[in-house]
Amino acid sequence: MEVRTAEPPTVERPAFANVFAAELPYVLRSLRRLGALPADVEDLGHDVFMVVHRELARFDPARPIRPWLFGIAFRVASDHRRLARVRREVPTAQVPDAAALAESAEAHLERADDRALVLAALAALDLERRAVIVMHDLDGFSAPQVAAELGIPLNTAYSRLRLAREDLRRAVQRIRARSPKP
């Protein structure tokens, strides 16, 4: 009697065009959160997808793609910061979209102020800590996923997350203390 072992189901590798179309907004948003200047975001996104195109054949399609993409975006942003001699710019609120304009002006301004505050506080963080907090707290990836995609030990990921949260809290307090009171 012949014993057959069940082969694991094969997961089809995504086509580059599909990955690009589906994940470009995520990659651009991640680059902004990592502190890329608005003028550089599109160019850095292009660089990210050049790496994706080159490395897609090695990607394990059984894994989620976003942590892999974030890891690439992190490395591209990190390389760019070194080349750009650590330029810093405090991000400001984005121009509202049509749906946001329909909401009350006060609620929109409050949200825009909160978004600007968080982006400014994130900009004050060290890039390695910022990457961990963005992946974990904003994008919702688990600490093991963060560690795997950033190529760091799991305990380091937890430590950076704890320190990033403390740094973010202090940065928000500093920014609020400098802001004029209404």
Mean of the per-residue pLDDT values for the chain? 83
Whether 116 and 139 share a structural domain: yes
pLDDT digits (tens, 9 = 90+) for 148-161: 999 999 999 999 99
| Residue 4 belongs to a domain | no
Whether 79 and 115 share a structural domain: no
| Predicted confidence band of residue 29 (pLDDT cuts 50, 70, 90) | very high
For residue 72, give the CATH number of its domain: 1.10.1740.10
Q: Would the pLDDT of 9 be above 70? A: no
How far is CA 87 from its chain centroid?
19
For residue 175, give the CATH number of its domain: 1.10.10.10
3-state helix, strand, coil in the chain (%, to 5): 70, 0, 30
| Residue 3 belongs to a domain | no
Whether 114 and 163 share a structural domain: yes
Whether 46 and 109 share a structural domain: no
**pLDDT at residue 101 in the model:** 47
Torsion angle of the four alpha carbons 36, 90, 120, 102, in this order, in degrees rounded to the nearest 10: -90
Mean pLDDT of 66-85: 87
| Residue 130 belongs to a domain | yes
Whether 155 and 177 share a structural domain: yes
Whether 68 and 143 share a structural domain: no
Whether 83 and 110 share a structural domain: no
Only one residue has tokens 């094969």, namely: 10
What is residue 57's three-state secondary structure?
Answer: helix
What is residue 49's three-state secondary structure?
Answer: helix
**pLDDT at residue 86 in the model:** 46
HSE at residue 131, side-chain half, CA atoms within 13 A, is 25
| Residue 1 belongs to a domain | no
Q: Taking a C-beta distance cutoff of 8 angstroms, is the pair 150, 132 a contact?
A: yes
**Short-list 52, 57, 62, CA closest to 20:** 52
**pLDDT at residue 112 in the model:** 72
Number of structural domains found in the chain: 2
What pTM value is reported for the model? 0.66
Domain's final residue, options 64, 89, 114:
89
Whether 72 and 110 share a structural domain: no
**pLDDT at residue 117 in the model:** 85
Q: Taking a C-beta distance cutoff of 8 angstroms, is the pair 44, 76 a contact?
A: yes
Quote the domain boundaries for residue 111.
Answer: 103-182
Q: Phi and psi for 63 in degrees, rounded to 5?
A: -95, 155
| Residue 120 belongs to a domain | yes
| Predicted confidence band of residue 65 (pLDDT cuts 50, 70, 90) | very high
